[in-house]
Structure 1
């Protein structure tokens, strides 16, 4: 049921529960003596409707605006409801684009979209010259490529010298030793004079675990670079053979690269055995002395009684020569030994090769 009740001015003091039914001002609810008709309240009290008079010009406290989601916000983006579903949809498209992603335009985009005036021929040439590298840049690039190429070539050369020459020389020396032992086993006797590069004996240095063929001559290409040691047998460097009654048996070998059979002869000590094996006999020497550094032209170390060796009278000696310091050929290192045993092969190996 509804009833006519004069409304009370909200600013009037009193109990709100009994304030309804009072007129607004002197002229009633609407200022002209009329009264507002509202539904009655429930048992807890009268119902007070919101003040929604569109006709009055009186001041009043506005109600808080309705909160909407971003999809329902009006075109102004202030949370107000748009003019309808279609209007809200259009507003969402304007804000977020067709796929819903915000449209952002970088600074200066409008200026970039403007057509640019074509460059003059002079300006185009100037810009083309500016893009080309200068002479200094080209020179630096060429130098850099040359340095890189040189470095790669040096690395390959070092690898060849320190690794590959040893691999190849060991293979060649092992093949020569096997061939020589096969000839001995088959009874093939070599003549008393050997051809340059021809193998005729084996050198054993037990302390250094060295077993290497001995060939005639000291040619780098035919002997030394093939991993063998060479016998001084030509011209003013001619030395005796091991079976000579007296004399100095001189040998040369690489200390580094190409098999490097004499690399560690500096570690030999007096008394260490050095054995020369031939087709008929074993010649056992004992290391006697060492000359760490001498000139390459000091051929007196190969004399029958070698100087600076400590030997004072003729005997049966062996001389090992090699380069020093390591990886250079500036000087020579000399090791001498004195024969202590001549043993026929028929009696078996000497103790130096058995123990």
Structure 2
């Protein structure tokens, strides 16, 4: 407002409006800063704290399994699942033509080759749901994590475990032993699966035997609903050029891709190389 002499006069109403606008802007800024801090804390919790806690829990579970197996061995208890006493059994490389060892059964997929134990793991009762019962080791990645039955997110995967896909085979059995795990957060056991190369070892330890698989093929990306990758004879239904045509002793590792998303799946396949009683 101006007077007759042209002097601008600021009224109380103008000052109040400006003060109100400043308070609104200040309050809005505080809310944005607070929201940003809360978001950062949530991200830190998800990316660091849950990852740290899951990794520690998985390490404790591995230690507990190994202690339990050692105590059972010392007490002379018969392992409920798997091989009986005897020498190590080796599965020959693809294409090899060797006679089966004495006391070994023959892989029905390839007559005269791929000896397997007379009493496979599956002769025991199935593992209890969500209970850790084996240890997965990948030397190239420096990884050792528990394997639990099922892929329940809260009870298995979020603990940093590898989850056994129900309906697939168990270690050492003819068919497909399929495992899933987080690639990011919650221990992220499968974060570095893309680093695996053909011929790398993947070791599965149970209370009765150690199974060594050799990485054979990698499917860089497929859909989350590509169930063909975990079938007894694994082959992608989305990308049929990836997979197998004959029965065998397979291991499948699956995780999300790209990182920090769950849109697609990365698949690593391995073949059984050897089995050794504990």
Q: Same fold (TM over 0.5)?
A: yes
Q: What is the Cα-based RMSD across aligned positions, in Å?
A: 1.9
Instruction: Please point out which of 216, 224, 229 is paired with 1:296.
Output: 224
Alignment deviations for residues 166-193 of structure 1 (CA, whole Å, 9 cap, x no partner): 1100111011111111111111656622
Give the distance between the partners of 2:19 and 2:127, measured in 1 at CA.
67
2:259 corresponds to: 326
2:197 corresponds to: 269
* Structure 1 residue 310: Cα displacement: 3.4
Unaligned runs of 5+ in 2: 1-10, 81-123, 237-241
What are the within-5 Å matches in structure 2 for residues 248-267 of structure 1?
A: 248-267=176-195
Unaligned runs of 5+ in 1: 1-125, 346-355
Give the distance between the partners of 1:242 and 1:330, measured in 2 at CA.
28
Give the distance between the partners of 2:19 and 2:222, measured in 1 at CA.
56
In the alignment, structure 1 residue 240 sits paired with structure 2 residue 161: no
Give the distance between the partners of 2:161 and 2:261, measured in 1 at CA.
19
Give the distance between the partners of 2:201 and 2:274, measured in 1 at CA.
10
1:222 corresponds to: 155
| Count of aligned residue pairs for this structure pair | 216
Q: Which has the higher contact order (CA 8 A, sep 6+)?
A: 2
* Structure 1 residue 133: Cα displacement: 3.9
**TM-score, with structure 1 as normaliser:** 0.58
Give the distance between the partners of 2:157 and 2:229, measured in 1 at CA.
20
Give the distance between the partners of 1:259 and 1:194, measured in 2 at CA.
23
More strand by share: 2
2:97 corresponds to: none
Instruction: Check conservation: 2:172, 2:272, Cα contact below 8 A.
Output: no
Give the distance between the partners of 1:304 and 1:133, measured in 2 at CA.
73
In the alignment, structure 1 residue 175 sits paired with structure 2 residue 103: no
- Superposed structure 1 runs of 4+ greater than 6 Å apart: none
